[in-house]
């Protein structure tokens, strides 16, 4: 089982703060890195899928970067709002061997934004 680590496990910020969290994954046989946003009592929603080293993607106030050589991705939220409160999940796909269709998730970072 591949090791995908997210840090921190949880984060409390004030409305208006900018924040970021990390996803670490194996640097060998990289194929794709996914980010999802998961609100309580809902299902996960896709934010980004990143495939190229150096990739940067942006959706509104949320952006992500990717470093496949060192095996990490950062998710940034600028000017956090209470509605950004959710669990943020990353997931790694390995291109090697029989793992082609496997998607391994990290444990998630729980973000709480206080008004």
Partner 1 sequence: EAQVTQNPRYLITVTGKKLTVTCSQNMNHEYMSWYRQDPGLGLRQIYYSMNVEVTDKGDVPEGYKVSRKEKRNFPLILESPSPNQTSLYFCASSPAGSLDQPQHFGDGTRLSIL
Instruction: State the residues that interact with partner 1 by CB under 8 A.
Output: 1, 31-32, 34, 36, 42-46, 48-49, 51, 89, 91, 93, 98, 100-108
- Nearer to partner 1 by Cβ, of 17 and 32: the residue is 32
Shortest Å, Cβ 27 to partner 1: 17
Shortest Å, Cβ 69 to partner 1: 19
Q: Are the C-beta atoms of residues 113 and 11 closer than 8 Å to each other? A: no
- Nearer to partner 1 by Cβ, of 100 and 114: the residue is 100
- Nearer to partner 1 by Cβ, of 18 and 27: the residue is 27
Q: Are the C-beta atoms of residues 70 and 27 closer than 8 Å to each other? A: yes
- Nearer to partner 1 by Cβ, of 7 and 14: the residue is 7
Shortest Å, Cβ 16 to partner 1: 29
> Which is nearest to 88 in space by CA: 70, 107, 71?
107
Q: Are the C-beta atoms of residues 50 and 68 closer than 8 Å to each other? A: no
Residues in the chain: 115
Tokens, residue 114: 């206080």
Q: Are the C-beta atoms of residues 89 and 99 closer than 8 Å to each other? A: no
């Amino acid at each position: 089982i591949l090791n995908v680590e997210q840090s921190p496990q949880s984060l409390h910020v004030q409305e208006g703060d900018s924040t970021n969290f990390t996803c670490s994954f194996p640097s060998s046989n990289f194929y794709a890195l996914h980010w999802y946003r998961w609100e309580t009592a809902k299902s996960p929603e896709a934010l980004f899928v990143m495939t190229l080293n150096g990739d940067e993607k942006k959706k509104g106030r949320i952006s992500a970067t990717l470093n496949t050589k060192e095996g990490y991705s950062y998710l940034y939220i600028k000017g956090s709002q209470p509605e950004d409160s959710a669990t943020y999940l990353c997931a790694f796909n390995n291109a090697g061997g029989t793992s082609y269709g496997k998607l391994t998730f990290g444990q998630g970072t729980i973000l709480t934004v206080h008004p």
